[in-house]
Structure 1
Amino acid sequence: MSMLVDLSHPIRQGQPSFPGDPELSVEAHFTTASGPRCNLSRITMSSHHGTHLDAMFHFVEDGRTLDQMPLEWFYGPARVIRVPKQAGEEITSDDFRRHEAVLTPGARILFETGWHREYGTLRYYEEAPSMTQEAAVYLASRQLRLIGMDTPTPGKDYYEIHHTLLGHGVEMVIVEGLANLDALPDDREFQFIGFPLNFAGRDGSPIRAVAEC
């Protein structure tokens, strides 16, 4: 019998946002004791807050927007690989090459550094492990369909890395800010589900990422 593993961080008032992004606000707009006597919230947030995915348009001006990406890209068999890292350490091409057997064209790969445990702190954004440009080029060469991670962004050279992974001829879905990757099996595939909201013409969306194991 399969089980579902929640790979998404809860979104709570007071959480820090990625530096420079809009601040998160989740507040009551109506309550059952006022107004039309129902609970309704006012939400302000970045399209890339918390557990989310990037559309190509996030960094590529003529890249696909969310509504132009096939639904199949967000759902299907996936595997997790372990890339343990400490604060500020580099994630290199060698870290991925040792898992080359599962880095096949069309694959959905999630990698765990252990950094998801820092979520909800400023340190999560400021000291995260960082993918090198060489590692991004290597991943692009493997023609993956999706790369997911427990860090808030692939690397500190985010402009170059995102262009490498999202650009024309690659168009890899990037899922950032995953949780609970340590609960996934090492030795077999599972189903990854991570659909974005259908924001027409936009660059990214929070998702409720789930693994069916």
Structure 2
Amino acid sequence: MSAPVGRPAGTGEWVDLAQPMYEQMPRALPESQVCFTPQYIETGPPGSAVRITHLTLSTHVGTHVDAALHFLPGGRSIEQYPVDAFVGPGIVVDARREGVVPVTRAEIEAMDLDARAGDIVLFCFGYGRHFGTPAYRDHPYLGDDTADWLVERGVKLVGVDTTTPDLGGAHRPPDYAYPVHMTLLPRDILIIEHLGPRLEELVGRRVEVNAVPLPIRSGDGAPAPVIARAVPDEEIR
């Protein structure tokens, strides 16, 4: 992976930003199955125990990327995006807070962030550490006007350490319109959900990100082992 001309690449330690995968992991829908079934097979060298694991998994549990097809009939599926859509420079925004509290455009503008066209913007709410606990359901989110700000900045990928960048499912009215998804995905600005707790190590920094997902054919999204590293001596404000 190389940085665009004029942008320094990260040279620090790669930080794992993915959540662990396990059968009781949080999921947006009760019917989203997560099942790991080990099987031992007889072939193999003497004294061995050859094991393979069968995996049943929704494309929208754990750390994953949403494709446009997730919300838009006829939108691009996950394997139709070029690798460059998932890698490159970006910033980690310190949006840490507790509870169902939005990040507004006014708040973002007051931060005077160094968000550039083509950036990957990761919002750290500090909720990666709540993964698997009841507190994880009552998370912060991006305001409608913040999604507009991201579009205006020309970013290509947006990530959060929560279940969704929109208002969480437990708090939505019946006619909820998913304003963040419906602002970003039609423009092929993709969304990473369920980033892990180590995102907090990178707040306030420019970073290099690799969020390449599994190339699931006709996939509306896919798991992604997201990693990032800081760009030395570069802060975002």
> TM-score when scaled to structure 2?
0.80
User: Does 2:104 correspond to 1:85?
Assistant: no
1:66 counterpart letter in structure 2:
I
**For residues 186 and 133 of structure 1, what CA distance do their matches in structure 2 show?**
22
**Residues 104-142 of structure 1, C-alpha deviations (whole Å, 9 max, x = no match):** 221111111111111012431x21112222222222222
- Percent identity at matched positions? 28
**Other-structure match for 2:183:** 164
2:71 is aligned to: 59
Q: Secondary structure, in 3 states, of the residue corresponding to 1:111?
A: strand
How many pairs are equivalent? 206
Q: Residues 155-194 of structure 1: matches in 2 within 5 Å? A: 155-156=166-167, 157=176, 159-167=178-186, 170-179=187-196, 180-184=198-202, 186-187=204-205, 189-194=206-211
Instruction: Work out whether residues 65 and 203 of structure 1, in 8 Å CA contact, stay in contact via their aligned partners in 2.
Output: yes
Question: What is the match of residue 19 of structure 2?
Answer: 9
Whether the aligned pair in 2 keeps the contact of 1:15 and 1:121 (CA below 8 Å) is no
**Counterpart AA for 1:163:** M
Distance 1:122 1:40 in 2: 32
Q: Distance in 2 between matches of 1:47 and 1:181?
A: 22
Output one character per residue of 1:60-111: Cα deviation in whole Å (capped at 9) or x when no partner. Answer: 1121111111110111112111012211112212232234442222111111
| Cα contact 2:147–2:180 (8 A) shared by 1 | yes
RMSD over aligned CA atoms reads: 1.9
User: What pairs up with 1:84-163 in 2 under 5 angstroms?
Assistant: 84-124=96-136, 126-156=137-167, 157=176, 159-163=178-182
Aligned partners of 1:103, 1:83: CA distance in 2, in Å?
15
Structure 2 residue 84 is matched with structure 1 residue 72:
yes
Q: Provide the residue aligned with 1:22 in structure 2.
A: 32
Residues 8 and 39 (structure 1 numbering): CA distance in 2 closer, same or farther, change over 3 Å? Answer: same
Inter-partner Cα distance in structure 2 for 1:95 and 1:150: 19
Shift of 1:21: 4.6
Partner of 1:202: 219
Give the residue type in structure 2 aligned to 1:140.
V
Question: Contact (CA 8 Å) 2:94, 2:203: kept in 1 or not?
Answer: no
Gaps of 5+ in 1: none
TM-score, normalization by structure 1 = 0.88
Distance 1:19 1:104, change over 3 A: same
Distance 1:72 1:84 in 2: 29
